[in-house]
């Protein structure tokens, strides 16, 4: 049985061979697609330095929990510490509204 990372990467490669601006304007919607396919395994994050929405999944290690991030390219290495979108919504309503207005709508 494939692990989560392998399943996510296989899904991306098999369903999205062409870039439909997944890295430039449609990154939030790519996250929504991944969330729909892996509903209880992923969360949406925002990399504020890159201005990029990504999904993340916890990876449980002996030394603790590490989050592995994904976007259309596969495994994503963030430029800054990604922030859960739900945390932005809960802790900074103004920023969240701007993200929705500028990136989602």
Which residue in this structure is represented by tokens 């920023």? 95
pLDDT tens over the chain, length 105 residues: 668 999 999 999 999 999 999 999 999 999 999 999 999 999 999 999 999 999 999 887 778 888 999 999 999 999 899 999 999 999 999 999 999 999 998
Looking at residue 1, its pLDDT comes to: 61
The residues pairing with 55 across neighbouring beta strands, listed in sequence order, are: 44, 70
Domain that holds residue 19: 4-104
pLDDT in tens, 57-80: 988 777 888 899 999 999 999 989
Q: Which of 38, 37, 34 is nearest to 76 (CA)?
A: 34
Give me the number of domains the chain comprises. Answer: 1
Q: How far is CA 51 from the centre of its chain?
A: 12
């Amino acid at each position: 049985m494939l692990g989560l990372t392998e399943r996510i990467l296989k899904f991306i490669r098999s369903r999205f061979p062409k870039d439909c601006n997944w890295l430039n304007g449609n990154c939030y919607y790519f996250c929504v697609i991944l969330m729909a396919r892996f509903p209880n395994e992923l969360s949406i994050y925002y990399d504020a330095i890159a201005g990029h929405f990504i999904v993340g999944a916890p990876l449980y290690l002996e030394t603790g929990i590490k989050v592995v991030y994904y976007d259309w390219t596969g495994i994503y290495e963030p430029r800054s510490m990604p922030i859960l979108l739900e945390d932005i919504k809960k802790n900074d309503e103004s920023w969240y509204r701007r993200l929705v207005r500028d990136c989602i709508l």
